[in-house]
Chain A
Amino acid sequence: MAAIAGRPAGKASWQRGLRDARLWLLLITAVLMLVDGYLIFMVAPTDAVLGHVQRIFYVHVPISILSFLGFLICAVAGIGYLIRRTERWDRVAHASAEVGVVFVTLALVTGIIWARPVWNAWWQWEPRLTTTLILWFIYVAYLMIRQYAPTPQQGRTWSAVVGIIGFVDVPIVYYSVQWWQSIHPKQVIGPEAAEGALEPIMAQILVFSLVATLALFTYLLLERVALRGIEDRLSQLRREGNTD
């Protein structure tokens, strides 16, 4: 109670400011996504070998990269939580794990849809796909541990540990295509990409897609953190109501 009464006066306006920022971000995201759709379908050239289906690339790759970012934030915030033991760190870790799971799920689904017409199979038990599926399992486990832990306190601690250790799989996923010969293509952009792996216009549209998807990712993450904040305050009030 004392904590609520003693809140600084600026808190309410700060929260309102954050809400406005989320609305603006949503607007910017929507505009970026519309432009991105135009670029992907109207400007990007059709791939000489794969045909139109190669346009999945412009969502599949940014979504995969941002799932990595989600799990990176989760691991860092998990370390922060284990050191500081404050709700704020846990909120960020929890939110980024959930958004990361949404992204890695979509990375898997778009990959499966892309694989069917190209590889002639929906799924292959090969290193890139398998390590990505393991990544999915790790962070789904992260979310479930929070649900099933004996106390919320333990849930926060155990899930932080899983989030930190689980991040080890991210570089394995990234380098799997370099380490093991397989059916999945290697990187076509970034430090590991071969020279000329991507036509310049395709690379430019991919970067634009990455920026647009980053805006969406940030919006979803902020929205999730805000939701956790309100739900936390609600359950705190409920507990105080019960003890009175």
Chain B
Amino acid sequence: MQSENYTNPPAEVSAYLESEATEERSGWRSHRMRLIILVGVIALAVAYMVYAAFPGNTQYFVSVSEFLDDPRLHDGQTLRVAGALDPESFRREDGSASSRFALGDKEPDVPGLIPGTRVMEASYVGVLPDLFFNPHSEIILEGSYDAQSGVFATDNILVKCPSKYQSLQAENPDAVPGAAGATQGGY
């Protein structure tokens, strides 16, 4: 259908092609082709990203108690469970990278786990994140639950921090002065 335009171009098309020549741009078909490919690639990339970021509009992760309500439902399935570390539960075999710990529900912006909350047993092999033991951290475990052993096998650990920044002094005025460095400012 386009080739007909070439053999018998309407007035506006030929005027357009002439304006083309003065603009020092040749091969407009390749320009148009590149533009179509460009738009196509971007549309596909955006579609994929939206798909990846909002999987079926489900939540980004489930809480420990949501998970514990029916762990069997999640048997073998890869998922994310968020909560706080129970610091008493942490065990590591000497000289090994494998660790065992328990995760419980966490209230946003309140350090530590909710007192008396149920906990989920988890295992992990590897280097722990810097902020893993910080009570402010919300720990997100990526992995799968094994119903047989009752342990959540963690592949990956993410750390979510509160949307709040403050200095050590403001957080805990009783803290040893100067412990966090001399750049605390004189204000």
Contacts and interface: CB of A to CB of B under 8 A. Distances in A.
- So, do A and B actually touch in the complex, CB under 8 Å? yes
Given A126-B60, A151-B20, A49 B161 contact: yes
Interface in B81-120: none
B interface bracket (residues with beta carbon within 8 Å of A) = 35 or more
Nearest to A124: B158
A152 interface: yes
Interface stretch (A78-86, A184-192, A218-226): A184-192
Interface in A139-198: 141, 144-145, 148-153, 177, 180-183, 185-188, 194, 196-198
Contact of B159 (A119, A127, A148, A187): A119
B131 A46 contact: no
B140 A50 contact: no
A4 interface: no
B42 A137 contact: yes
Contact of B38 (A141, A185, A199): A141
A231 interface: no
A181 B59 contact: yes
A133 B45 CA distance: 10
A interface bracket (residues with beta carbon within 8 Å of B) = 35 or more
Interface stretch (A24-32, A37-45, A100-108): A37-45
A46 B131 CA distance: 15
B60 A181 contact: yes
A117 B158 CA distance: 10
B130 A47 contact: no
A121 interface: yes
B130 to A, nearest CB: 6
B184 A45 contact: yes
A137 B42 CA distance: 7
Given A45-B169, A148-B35, A187-B163, A119 B52 contact: no
A180 B35 contact: no
A57 B50 CA distance: 26
A134 B44 CA distance: 11
A199 B165 contact: yes
Interface stretch (B1-9, B23-31, B70-78): B23-31
A124 B180 CA distance: 30
A201 interface: yes
Contact of B165 (A131, A138, A198): A198
Given A44-B185, A49-B162, A126-B60, 5 more contacts: A46-B168, A49-B137, A137-B45, A148-B31, A202-B166
